[in-house]
């Protein structure tokens, strides 16, 4: 292939498709449903940001973690605690939450990424339990089991008061989501994202062609942690409350499930998964939360056994892209 | 002096339960390389079976000590054949998700059948009394728990070293391909050890009912402690899990006695640091 032809092929692979505007259309459609849906829409938008951050780690970098809520919680508590102590400006609060989570992610990444597989899983699990217990016991700072009360968020940009219907909150969360989504889209298509995927597929070969494996994984870990912290900060500002469940293992498991339902390792899997999960939960669990848990469990098992690609995997199969994908997956992958 | 004895006693009882629940997991992980986060489901099943049989059907508690593990073993074998065996060799993410799904189902079914409340486990009066041994008094039930834990550990160690099945298991852990090529049917071996692990889990779940509190989230509650035991012990070692369970029992009891303000933070911090220094656990070779 000539150099120009190669460049064109790359461009085609990464070009913006019309169908990719659908999430934005969906965001704009929520206000048409009336004020009842702002709260759900906001929660979904926050989950999507959180799931996107996890997708970067699990889907793109191939690092399975059971402790991602650690960073969500850190961001939420950082933003919330700043607000309780007199700084409730939303944008800088978000920045603070993101920075705290990203810094912790960098430190933790340097420590835990030297290990792999089961040990890595256990380290992330211990880390989230440790953080949860610290948040529980340090009640002078975090409010302990009662949660962080007294969070008050100042008007957005000094003008828009967070209203009771959640209109401003929804607009705020949507704007953040669109920015994160565009940023993630750019990141995974950039050489950085491509090199991370190269590490996921074959760390040995990636190292051999000159990718600084550990440094890059730590960077991904920090970015992912920062985005999770952003989601946490966003939730703290809009709900004006932070609780122990925001930094717990169950949230880690839930977001992993959301991502897998949509399809890990792809941008739009992290968007469609949380949407499907939370809309279904809203429809089904109002009457009986136990039945919801039962069917969710069954659904996860079925997805893992029969549709490992999640919703988007099924969509692929229907539209006939499956053949190409399996052909790519069949190529021998040597792991070191 | 009395305090030290008491702490040691409590630690031993705690460690026995941890050991019973986690030993099966250690085997599955060593044999199949499968991180069975849902192993606590068997403990929960064992506990509920016993509690329901004793209060509902009026069966004697000691009988359930045998019956409940047997039933759960059959259930585990069934699950292994039908579901778990499909996931060997799949990606870590798939295995983790599958286990989370299974825990959700188990806890939802338990809540639907038995309600969300803590389920009491009635003990025979002979066990729920204090026993005097010299100047010290012990809770009889905990003595039994320690006895069962110790005996099981001894039996497993002896069985692994001295019996034919034990050497088959060791061979399969050591090198699965080689074991198969000398004629071992490892898939049967997998099912058998999985069922055995489930049975021990059920026994531990029943005995540990008053320690963790029998409720629909039992599988989630024990998950992290059981995983910790396996991680600290290291993969592919059964002797290690006994010592790891002792260690964790001791850390947990000591920190509860002397620094209750820190809660379980001490334990998780210790585990975190240990895994950093020794990523393969204390005794792991794989």
- All residues of chain A having their beta carbon less than 8 Å from the beta carbon of residue B262 are 133, 137
**What pLDDT score was predicted for residue B285?**
59
Give dist(CA B37, CA B40) in Å, integer.
Answer: 7
Q: What is the pLDDT of residues B179-194, one digit of tens each?
A: 889 888 888 888 988 8
Give dist(CA B253, CA B276) in Å, integer.
Answer: 23
- All residues of chain B having their beta carbon less than 8 Å from the beta carbon of residue A264 are 93
For residue B53, is it within any domain? yes
Question: Given CB atoms, is A258 within the 8 Å cutoff of chain B?
Answer: no
Pairs across A and B, CB distance < 8 A: 124
- Do the Cβ atoms of A297 and B96 come within 8 Å? no
**What pLDDT score was predicted for residue A229?**
94
For residue A12, is it within any domain? no
Pick the closest to residue A121 from A245, A232, A214, A252 (CA basis): A252
Specify whether the CB–CB gap between B101 and A295 falls below 8 A. no
Q: If you write DSSP's letter for every residue of chain B in order, what string do you get?
A: -HHHHHHHHHHHHHHHHHHHHHHHHHHHHHHH----GGGHHHHHHHHHHHHHIIIII---HHHHHHHHHHHHHHHHHHHHHHTGGGGTTS-HHHHHHHHHHHHHHHHHHHHHHH-SSPBP----TTTSSEEEETTEEEEHHHHHHHHHHHHHHHHHHHHHHHSHHHHHHHHHHH-HHHHHHTT--HHHHHHHHHHHHHHHHHHHHHHTIIIIIBSTTHHHHHHHHHHHHHHHH-TT-SHHHHHHHHHHHHHHHHHHHH-GGGTTHHHHHHHHHHHHH-TTTTT---
For residue A143, is it within any domain? yes
Q: Which residue of chain B is at minimal alpha-carbon distance from A135?
A: B265
Asked if pLDDT for residue A151 goes beyond 80, the answer is no
**What pLDDT score was predicted for residue A28?**
75
- Do the Cβ atoms of A304 and B97 come within 8 Å? yes
- Do the Cβ atoms of B104 and A300 come within 8 Å? yes
Q: Cα distance from B256 to chain A (closest Cα, Å)? A: 13
Q: Report how far apart, in Å, the C-alpha atoms of B185 and of each of A105, B89, B181 are.
A: 45, 17, 9
For residue B145, is it within any domain? yes
Q: Which residue has tokens 């489930």?
A: B198
- All residues of chain B having their beta carbon less than 8 Å from the beta carbon of residue A111 are 276
Give dist(CA A57, CA A132) in Å, integer.
Answer: 21
Mutate to test the interface with A, among B41, B84, B95, B100 (most CBs of A within 10 A): B100
Higher pLDDT, A320 or A261: A261
Specify whether the CB–CB gap between A121 and A65 falls below 8 A. yes
- Do the Cβ atoms of A121 and B224 come within 8 Å? no
| Residue B169 structural domain | 2-218
Question: Given CB atoms, is A300 within the 8 Å cutoff of chain B?
Answer: yes
Q: Report how far apart, in Å, the C-alpha atoms of B207 and of each of B50, B157, B200 are.
A: 10, 21, 11
Give dist(CA B23, CA B53) in Å, integer.
Answer: 25
ipTM above 0.90, yes or no: no
Asked if pLDDT for residue A266 goes beyond 50, the answer is yes
**What pLDDT score was predicted for residue A322?**
55
- All residues of chain B having their beta carbon less than 8 Å from the beta carbon of residue A293 are 104, 107-108, 111
- Do the Cβ atoms of B104 and A129 come within 8 Å? no
**What pLDDT score was predicted for residue A49?**
94
**What pLDDT score was predicted for residue B226?**
86
- Average predicted confidence (pLDDT) for chain A: 84
Q: Which residue has tokens 């809540």?
A: B111
| Residue A318 structural domain | 18-330
**What pLDDT score was predicted for residue B76?**
92
- All residues of chain A having their beta carbon less than 8 Å from the beta carbon of residue B114 are none
Asked if pLDDT for residue A331 goes beyond 70, the answer is no
- Compare CB distances from A304 to B94, B105, B231 and report the shortest one's residue: B94
3-state secondary structure at position A160: strand
Q: In the Cβ-directed half-sphere of B167, how many Cα atoms lie within 13 Å?
A: 3
What one-character DSSP code corresponds to residue A58?
Answer: I
- Compare CB distances from B108 to A137, A294, A303 and report the shortest one's residue: A294
Asked if pLDDT for residue A334 goes beyond 50, the answer is no
Within 10 Å of residue A216's Cβ, how many Cβ atoms?
Answer: 17
Q: Which two tokens stand for residue A279?
A: 């809309």
How far is C-alpha B205 from the chain's CA centre? 7
- Compare CB distances from B224 to A64, A125, A290 and report the shortest one's residue: A125
**What pLDDT score was predicted for residue B41?**
92
Within 10 Å of residue B109's Cβ, how many Cβ atoms?
Answer: 17
Q: Report how far apart, in Å, the C-alpha atoms of A100 and of each of A28, A85, A172, A229, B130 are.
A: 31, 16, 21, 8, 52
For residue B13, is it within any domain? yes
For residue B134, is it within any domain? yes
Tell me how long chain B is.
Answer: 286
For residue A335, is it within any domain? no
**What pLDDT score was predicted for residue A336?**
41
Per-residue pLDDT of chain B (286 residues; tens, 9 = 90+): 678 888 888 888 888 998 988 887 887 777 777 888 888 899 999 999 988 888 888 888 888 888 899 999 999 999 999 888 888 878 888 888 999 999 999 989 998 888 888 887 778 777 777 777 766 777 788 888 888 988 988 888 888 888 888 888 888 877 888 888 988 888 888 898 889 989 999 999 888 887 788 888 888 888 888 888 888 887 667 778 888 888 888 888 888 888 887 778 888 888 888 888 887 878 765 4
Mutate to test the interface with B, among A57, A104, A125, A302 (most CBs of B within 10 A): A125
Mean pLDDT is lowest, of A14-28, A98-112, A131-145, A172-186, for: A14-28
Give dist(CA B286, CA B268) in Å, integer.
Answer: 23
- All residues of chain A having their beta carbon less than 8 Å from the beta carbon of residue B113 are none
Mutate to test the interface with B, among A107, A300, A309, A333 (most CBs of B within 10 A): A300
Q: Which residue of chain A is at minimal alpha-carbon distance from B273?
A: A123
Asked if pLDDT for residue A333 goes beyond 70, the answer is no
Q: Band the pLDDT of A335: cuts 50, 70, 90.
A: very low
- All residues of chain B having their beta carbon less than 8 Å from the beta carbon of residue A125 are 224, 227
Q: List Cβ neighbours of B210 (8 Å cut-off, separation of 6 or more).
A: B121, B141
**What pLDDT score was predicted for residue A189?**
87
Which 3-state string (H, E, C) describes B185-245?
CHHHHHHHHHHHHHHHHHHHHHHCHHHHHECCCHHHHHHHHHHHHHHHHCCCCCHHHHHHH
For residue B71, is it within any domain? yes
Q: What is the pLDDT of residues A89-139, one digit of tens each?
A: 888 889 999 999 999 999 999 888 887 777 888 889 889 988 888 888 888
Q: Which residue of chain B is at minimal alpha-carbon distance from A128?
A: B268
For residue A4, is it within any domain? no
For residue B158, is it within any domain? yes
Mean pLDDT to the nearest integer, A205-221: 89
Number of folded domains in chain B? Answer: 1
- All residues of chain A having their beta carbon less than 8 Å from the beta carbon of residue B96 are 64, 66, 121, 256
Number of folded domains in chain A? Answer: 1
Question: Given CB atoms, is A299 within the 8 Å cutoff of chain B?
Answer: yes
């Amino acid at each position: 292939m000539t150099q120009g032809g190669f460049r064109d092929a790359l461009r085609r692979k990464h070009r913006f498709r019309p169908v990719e505007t659908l999430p934005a259309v969906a965001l704009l459609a929520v206000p048409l449903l009336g004020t009842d849906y702002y709260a759900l829409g906001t929660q979904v938008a926050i989950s999507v940001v959180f799931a996107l951050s996890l997708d970067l780690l699990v889907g793109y970098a191939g690092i399975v973690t059971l402790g991602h809520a650690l960073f969500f919680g850190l961001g939420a508590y950082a933003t919330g605690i700043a607000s309780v102590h007199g700084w409730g400006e939303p944008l800088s609060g978000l920045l603070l939450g993101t920075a705290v989570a990203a810094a912790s992610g960098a430190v933790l990444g340097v420590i835990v990424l030297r290990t792999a597989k089961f040990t890595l899983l256990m380290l992330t699990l211990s880390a989230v339990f440790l953080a949860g217990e610290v948040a529980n016991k340090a009640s002078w700072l975090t409010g302990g089991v009662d949660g962080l009360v007294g969070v008050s968020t100042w008007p957005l940009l000094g003008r828009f008061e967070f209203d009771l219907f959640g209109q401003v909150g929804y607009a705020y969360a949507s704007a953040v989501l669109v920015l994160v989504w565009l940023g993630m889209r750019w990141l995974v298509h950039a050489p950085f994202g491509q090199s991370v995927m190269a590490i996921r597929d074959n760390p040995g070969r990636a190292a051999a062609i000159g990718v600084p494996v550990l440094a890059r994984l730590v960077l991904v870990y920090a970015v992912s942690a920062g985005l999770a912290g952003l989601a946490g900060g966003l939730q703290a500002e809009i709900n004006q409350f932070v609780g122990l469940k925001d930094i717990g293992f169950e949230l880690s498991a839930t977001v992993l499930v959301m991502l897998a339902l949509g399809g890990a390792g792809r941008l739009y899997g992290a968007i469609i998964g949380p949407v499907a999960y939370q809309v279904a939960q809203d429809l089904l669990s109002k009457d009986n939360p136990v039945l919801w848990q039962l069917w969710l469990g069954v659904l996860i098992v079925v997805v893992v056994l029969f549709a490992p690609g999640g919703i988007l995997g099924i969509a692929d199969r229907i539209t006939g892209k499956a053949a190409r994908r399996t052909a790519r997956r069949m190529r021998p992958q040597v792991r070191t | 002096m009395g305090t030290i004895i008491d702490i040691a006693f409590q630690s031993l009882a705690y460690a026995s339960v941890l050991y019973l629940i986690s030993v099966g997991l250690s085997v599955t992980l060593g044999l199949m390389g499968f991180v069975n986060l849902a192993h606590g489901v068997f403990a929960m099943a064992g506990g509920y079976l016993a509690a329901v049989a004793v209060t509902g059907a009026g069966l004697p508690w000691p009988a359930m000590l045998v019956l409940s593990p047997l039933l759960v073993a059959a259930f585990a074998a069934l699950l292994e054949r039908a579901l778990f065996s499909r996931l060997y060799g799949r990606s870590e993410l798939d295995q983790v998700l599958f286990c989370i799904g299974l825990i959700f189902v188990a806890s939802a079914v338990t809540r639907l059948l038995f309600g969300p409340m803590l389920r009491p486990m009635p003990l025979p009066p002979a066990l729920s009394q204090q026993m005097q041994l010299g100047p010290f008094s012990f809770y009889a039930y905990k003595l039994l728990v320690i006895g069962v834990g110790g005996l099981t550990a001894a039996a497993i160690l002896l069985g692994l070293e001295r019996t034919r099945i034990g050497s088959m298991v060791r061979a399969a852990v050591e090198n699965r391909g080689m074991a198969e090529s000398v004629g071992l049917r490892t898939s049967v071996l997998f099912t058998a050890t999985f069922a055995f692990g489930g049975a021990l889990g059920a026994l531990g779940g029943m005995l540990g009912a008053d320690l963790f509190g029998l409720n629909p989230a039992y599988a989630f509650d024990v998950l992290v402690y059981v995983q910790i035991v396996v991680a600290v012990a290291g993969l592919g070692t059964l002797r290690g899990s006994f010592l790891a369970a002792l260690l964790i029992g001791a850390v947990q009891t000591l920190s509860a006695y002397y620094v209750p303000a820190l809660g379980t933070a001490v334990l998780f911090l210790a585990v975190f640091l240990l895994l950093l220094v020794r990523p393969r656990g204390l005794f792991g070779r794989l």
